[in-house]
Amino acid sequence: ANLLDVPASEVIMKCLELGLVVTINQRLDIDTITLIAEEYGYKVEQQFATEFISEEEEEEEEVDESMLEPRAPIVTIMGHVDHGKTSLLDYLRKSNITAGEAGGITQHIGAYEVEYEGKKITFLDTPGHEAFTAMRARGAQVTDIVILVVAADDAVMPQTIEAIDHVKAAGVHMVIAINKIDKPGADPERIKQQLAERDILVEDWGGTYQCAEISAKTGQGVSDLLEKLLLEAEMLDLKANPHKRAVGVVIESRLDKGKGPIATVLVQDGTLKVGDHFVAGHHYGRVRALLNEKNERMKTAGPSQPAVVLGFEGIPQAGDRFVVMKDEKAARELASKRQQLKREQEAKQVKMLTLQQISERIAQGEVHDLPIVIKADVDGSAEALADALINLNTDEVKINVVRKAVGPITESDVLLASASGAVIIGFNVRANLKAKELAEKENVDIRTYRVIYDAIDDLKSAMEGMLKPSL
Ligand code: GDP
């Protein structure tokens, strides 16, 4: 937007027209940039593209088809609240006989492996679609198959439908688990009927979705479910190359008192080893140790295997891509480049906020603070306006009055607004010419009103993330 000399919101609008939902702090790919630049009569040169746009030097290794080996499916459990997602995860974990070790104290690390008839299945153990969507929003798709749990003594419910929508949007495979069949009121056929009404036809209704009738409480039908999962996985023909540097996704992270920043990484391709230098998001690190969910040390983690990684320099975010680099230098360089980029974006963000953009970001839950500078003709109205606006505060969004004063809008108001990312609200006053010029340069939004209620209305809509663009 800066290079084209148009407001960022205009570029966002153009993206929307292209069917891309983007936010202000998102990087666009070269094709999108080319299309948008063309609309303004600019031509994008490739040199420019590599400098600013390319997904940095993660240096993909060459794909060698002959090196590919089957990998375990990665499964997420979704469904309506209380339909038995957690119970199913618990049952699977308890009955898990990986490598013949039953029992043992396990900890929640975000994912675990189950072995069934010699084959492995990886379960993400944050049930529900919030985690799934949050990861997807960050560009990380880790799930191969979703198990949709529906309670046989209940019905297809709002979150069942939401889960179906997410599965469809993500294009992942789905297996249905009709749960609680041990309960007296259980009626699996009714559930199948209700699913059919939503265009989800299970196999014995002539459809393509595999369906198992289970009880997460007694374990009845769970092996049938696992068999169906493995069959689904076979159809997907999931493969990865374990003979290369690891690539994966951070699925959980936290600061541990003794161990420092730690994160669970789900390896998607390659093999992760102790000693590897890596980049996760904008953090660099070196694998000091790999732990499984029993807190035992592992030497390596291969495709579809989760591992707690020790050795991060900072705490990565869930959904961050995790990439092993060829050496320490490459890892450090990439991480510092990303940090630099992040700083630049943050610096830009403070300066580039109109009320409209703030409103959009509130709608996305990215902003919880709305700084404003109030200028009015008389003290009484400045006070009244400030009081009325502060009354709009909610738990989610707070108006923060950075300055409240009498008189025309001046350069000093604009500078303050620019430094604090604030919007200027003028009541019965105007901005002088110099202030207007500076505001233009600094991208500070000046809004003037003659009726106090209009100001309140606009701010209220902005806080609800509903402000309409003023044309
Ligand atoms: P979630 O909200 O989907 O994770 O559901 P939960 O796993 O917490 O289960 C909700 C309730 O249903 C709990 O009280 C479970 O004990 C119970 N429940 C779950 N699965 C079964 C089942 O197969 N049979 C019976 N009888 N109860 C179940």
> Which of the residue ranges 192-206, 322-336, 360-374 would you say has the lowest mean pLDDT?
360-374
**DSSP letters spanning 189-220:** HHHHHHHHHTT--BGGGTSSB-EEE--TTT-T
Return the ligand 1 atom nearest residue 181 CA: 23
Measuring CA to CA, how many Å separate 219 from each of 80, 115, 223, 314?
20, 16, 8, 41
100 confidence band (pLDDT: 50, 70, 90):
very low
What percent of the chain has a predicted confidence (pLDDT) above 70?
Answer: 87
Residues 6 or more apart in contact with residue 172 via CB below 8 angstroms:
141, 143, 144, 145, 146
Residues 6 or more apart in contact with residue 150 via CB below 8 angstroms:
79, 80, 83, 156, 160, 176, 177, 178, 179, 191, 195
Mean pLDDT of all residues in 14-30: 72
Q: In angstroms, how far apart are the furthest CA atoms of the chain?
A: 80
53 confidence band (pLDDT: 50, 70, 90):
very low
pLDDT at position 123 is: 95
102 confidence band (pLDDT: 50, 70, 90):
low
Mean pLDDT of all residues in 441-466: 87
Mean pLDDT of all residues in 96-117: 73
Does the pLDDT at position 49 exceed 50? no
Ligand 1 centre distance from Cα of residue 251 (Å): 25
Does the pLDDT at position 138 exceed 80? no
The CB density around residue 195, as the number of other CB atoms within 10 Å, is 24
For residues 275 and 55, which has the higher predicted lDDT (pLDDT)?
Answer: 275
Mean pLDDT of all residues in 212-240: 96
> Which of the residue ranges 34-48, 118-132, 235-249 would you say has the lowest mean pLDDT?
34-48
Closest residue (by CA) to atom 22 of ligand 1? 180
Mean pLDDT of all residues in 283-292: 95
What residues does ligand 1 touch, defined as CB less than 6 Å away?
Answer: 79, 81-87, 127, 179-180, 182-183, 215-217
Residue 173 in marked binding region: no
Long-range own/partner contacts, residues 61-64 (CB < 8 A, 24 or more apart): 61/244, 61/245, 63/241, 64/241
Ligand 1 centre distance from Cα of residue 179 (Å): 8
Closest residue (by CA) to atom 6 of ligand 1? 84
Does the pLDDT at position 264 exceed 90? yes
Q: Which of 249, 264, 280, 230 is nearest to 143 (CA)?
A: 249
Return the ligand 1 atom nearest residue 87 CA: 7
In this structure, what token pair is assigned to residue 157? 């419910």
Tens digits of residue pLDDT in 289-299: 999 988 899 99
Mean pLDDT of all residues in 331-335: 90
Residue 181 in marked binding region: yes
For residues 291 and 412, which has the higher predicted lDDT (pLDDT)?
Answer: 291
For residues 29 and 4, which has the higher predicted lDDT (pLDDT)?
Answer: 4
Between CA 110 and CA 54 the distance in angstroms is 31
Mean pLDDT of all residues in 445-470: 84
In this structure, what token pair is assigned to residue 146? 């979703």
Please tell me what DSSP assigns to residue 52: H
Ligand 1 centre distance from Cα of residue 305 (Å): 27
Residue 128 in marked binding region: yes
pLDDT at position 324 is: 96
Between CA 409 and CA 416 the distance in angstroms is 11
Does the pLDDT at position 97 exceed 60? no
Does the pLDDT at position 131 exceed 90? no
Mean pLDDT of all residues in 126-144: 75
Place of tokens 């469904």: 79
Tens digits of residue pLDDT in 351-409: 446 788 778 878 777 778 888 999 999 988 899 999 999 898 888 888 888 888 899 99
Q: What residue ranges in 207-295 does DSSP mark as E strands?
A: 211-213, 239-240, 247-256, 260-269, 272-273, 277-280, 283-291
Does the pLDDT at position 47 exceed 60? no
For residues 95 and 246, which has the higher predicted lDDT (pLDDT)?
Answer: 246
Residue type, 209: Y
Query: 445 and 354 in contact (C-beta within 8 Å)?
Result: yes
Mean pLDDT of the chain: 85
Return the ligand 1 atom nearest residue 83 CA: 3
Ligand 1 centre distance from Cα of residue 136 (Å): 27
Residue 177 C-beta-side C-alpha neighbours within 13 Å: 33
